[in-house]
Amino acid sequence: MKKEIKLSGIPVVSGWGVGKAYFVGRAVQQTSTVSISRQDVGDEIMRFNEIREKAKKNYRQYITDLGGTTVDVSVLNIYEHILDDPAFIGQIVETISSKLYDLETSIRLVSNDFINRFNSAGTAYFKERSSDMVEVCEKLISYLYQDNGRAKTFMEPVILVVLRTFTPTDILSYDKSKIQGVVTVSGGKTSHAAILARSYSIPVVSGLQNISESINPGDQVLVDAEKGIVYVRPSTTVVSRFKRQTDSEKTLEELKSKWRRPVYTTDGIQIDVLANISLADDVDDAKEFGADGIGLIRTEYLLSNRKEMPSEKAQYEYYKQILDKADNKPCVIRLMDIGGDKIPQFFDMPLEFNPFMGWRAIRIFLERKEIFETQVTAILKAGINREYSIMMPMVTTLQEWLEAKAFITKVASRLGLKRPKCGVLFEVPLAILEMSTFLKEIDFASIGTNDLIQYLSAADRNNAKVNYLYNPIEPAFLRIIRTAIKCANDNGMSLSVCGEMAGNPIHTVLLVGLGLRRFSVIPRNIPLIKEIIANISFAEAAESISHIDAIESTEDMDEWLKNLNKRLLGNVLEKLPLTVGV
């Protein structure tokens, strides 16, 4: 067996996990296998024929589109020949039916086999055929991921090795319970993929270069996302050292049962701790971890792994399921935040150089009113007799907001319903700096620190390289948050913070001190945040915060925050199972 090696990266979602390496992002490289039962053979073969036809149609379309241009389309004909090649088809069918591998594994194994044969033939012609094979294999596999919500299952725990930027689909395409960790080339702490991983307690280490030179598919990999270290083929000593850490999970169980009730500071101020969720099943987690409601439903995840925009009926069922499960606790349904790094496969998105600054969320809605109308109609119908409100992401100007609100009012009156409470997610600098002008037009406010930090610091939330600039305790950023919270409090406006910053227990005292009374965080961290709140006085926290104006650098702020936590919390933080922080 090859020796253990250690790779260093950037911790993105903390925690640790161990499993077999499963490669994502370069189809033919993956050789670890997924088995199926005999009764699935027919389905897999049928699926193969479907995606083969789709791929052929797609290549033919390219040929038509390029007709009349000077582009040489002969290679596209070669792809079609490969897809019709009886030897290729026969081997895949044979691999599925006699070796009982799933379609993806079978495509990979057969393609690899062809590639090896072409490569060993040695001539330039055959070498070229091997890259054609890579293209066809990637193409076919890409169709498998658009397979209407079917998540791939594994027989054993895996570590996903993502050979490109980590995206939400990388998690949603697989059985989440088997993913023990993710190692990836790129992806920042508040990328949407990282947020999703955090809410499922999946540790992530990013910023690893040349991963495929150090890890082979199927290798045992241990991810230590506290330190950002990845052990490839770890020794038994290393594995058992990590296994001992599971003690902290016991503490979490205790806190979970303790905090299925509201929390008050020691001086009697009630603080709401709600959950951020994406899928209907996440409401079960929210309840299990003691959420006082759902403060952010990221509805765009409804679109993941779908072939087309979900109908009003499909959307209605999703919202109804969430609202039914929520037992009449408040639920904030955020309208779809399409764009940025959340582009559904079927969505006709123009190519943009700067997607996070481009056509996103409300900007899409105001132009594509039919999408807006379908979503609002489905929510309003599902919300009859329920405790819910609607939140709009990425609002920049008051004008945009007024237009959106008027549209929601119009849909409600068409349905003969009252307009629900509507609020703004403040995540664009212009909007938060102008919060006071929004106040008379909104029913509630929430601060989306994930985007707000990236827009204020001009540091992409997905880019591990500029992560050093992306910092929630940057003094200038905290001063903006303080002004916004004060503005809402002075006007009696309900305000929450729902970005990842609010879910990190290190920031709880700070945010309470800034006057925050409503947190919305990943379910797992709810009991931890409540435990901290129960140990502090609202007035004392507020008093301590008055010093932040004098702090000029992030380093000084970091030092000050550590001392503050120590002074107000003693050793409460050290005793908490802080495994999934930002």
- Residues tagged active-site: 192, 498
> Considering the rule CB under 6 A, would residue 498 count as an interface residue with ligand PEP?
yes
In angstroms, give the least distance from the CB of 276 to ligand PEP: 7
Nearest residue to 28 via CA among 171, 154, 136, 169:
136
The verdict on 448 binding ligand PEP (CB under 6 A) reads yes
Give the one residue of 187, 310, 420, 448 binding Mg ion; rule: CB under 5 A. 448
Q: What residue 498 binds from ligand PEP, Mg ion, none (CB within 5 to 8 A, per partner kind)?
A: ligand PEP
3-class secondary structure, 317: helix
Is there binding between residue 341 and Mg ion (CB under 5 A)? no
Chain residues 411-430 in contact with Mg ion, contact rule CB under 5 A: 427
Report which DSSP code applies to 2: P
Indicate the angle between helix axes 449-457 and 475-490, nearest 10 degrees: 130
**Rule CB under 6 A: is residue 450 a binding residue for ligand PEP?**
yes
CB 42: neighbour CB atoms within 10 A?
Answer: 11
Asked if 186 is part of the footprint of ligand PEP (rule: CB under 6 A), the reply reads: no
CA angle 149, 154, 156 (to 5 degrees): 150
Residue among 41 and 466 whose Cβ is closer to ligand PEP: 466
| Partner in contact with 203, chosen from ligand PEP, Mg ion, none, beta carbon below 5 to 8 Å by kind | none
**Residue 117 φ/ψ region, left for φ over 0, alpha for ψ in the -120 to 50 degree band, beta for the rest:** alpha
Report CA Rg, the chain: 25
Nearer to Mg ion, 192 or 233 (CB): 192
Within 10 angstroms of residue 240's Cβ, the number of other Cβ atoms is 10
Under the binding rule (CB under 6 A), the answer on residue 135 touching ligand PEP is no
For residue 341, state whether it binds ligand PEP (rule: CB under 6 A). Answer: no
Measured from each CB, the residue nearest to ligand PEP is 448
Residue 102 found at the interface with Mg ion (CB under 5 A): no
Q: Of 51-59, 352-360, 442-450, 553-561, which part binds ligand PEP (CB under 6 A)?
A: 442-450
For ligand PEP, the binding residues in 400-439 under the rule CB under 6 A are: 427
- Dihedral of CA 139/145/150/156: which sign? positive
Shortest reach from residue 3's CB to Mg ion, in Å: 43
CB of 195 to ligand PEP, least distance (A): 6
Count of residues near ligand PEP by CB under 6 A: 11
Which CB, 16 or 455, lies closer to ligand PEP? 455
Q: What does 30 interact with, of ligand PEP, Mg ion, none (CB < 5 to 8 A by kind)?
A: none
CB neighbour burial string for 175-204, b if at least 16 within 10 angstroms, e if fewer: ebebbbbbbbbbbbbbbbbbbbbbbbbbbb
Task: Say which residues have a Cβ less than 8 Å from residue 552's Cβ, sequence separation at least 6.
Answer: 475
Q: How far is the CB of 392 from ligand PEP (least distance, A)?
A: 12
Residue 244 is encoded by which pair of tokens? 């001992």
- Residue 298 in the binding site for ligand PEP (CB under 6 A): yes
Q: Closer to Mg ion by CB, 83 or 336: give it.
A: 336
Q: Determine contact, residues 44/36, Cβ cutoff 8 Å.
A: yes
How far is 26 from 163, CA to CA, in rounded Å? 7
Rounded CA-CA distance 111/105 in Å is: 10
The answer to the question of residue 183 lying near ligand PEP (CB under 6 A) is: no
54-93: contacts with Mg ion (CB under 5 A): none
DSSP state of 416: T
Beta carbons within 8 Å of 293's beta carbon, 6+ residues apart: 272, 274, 275, 326, 329, 330, 331, 332
Beta carbon nearer to Mg ion, 201 or 454: 454
Q: Provide the binding-site residues for ligand PEP, judged by CB under 6 A.
A: 195, 296, 298, 337, 427, 448-451, 498-499
Q: Provide the binding-site residues for Mg ion, judged by CB under 5 A.
A: 427, 448, 451
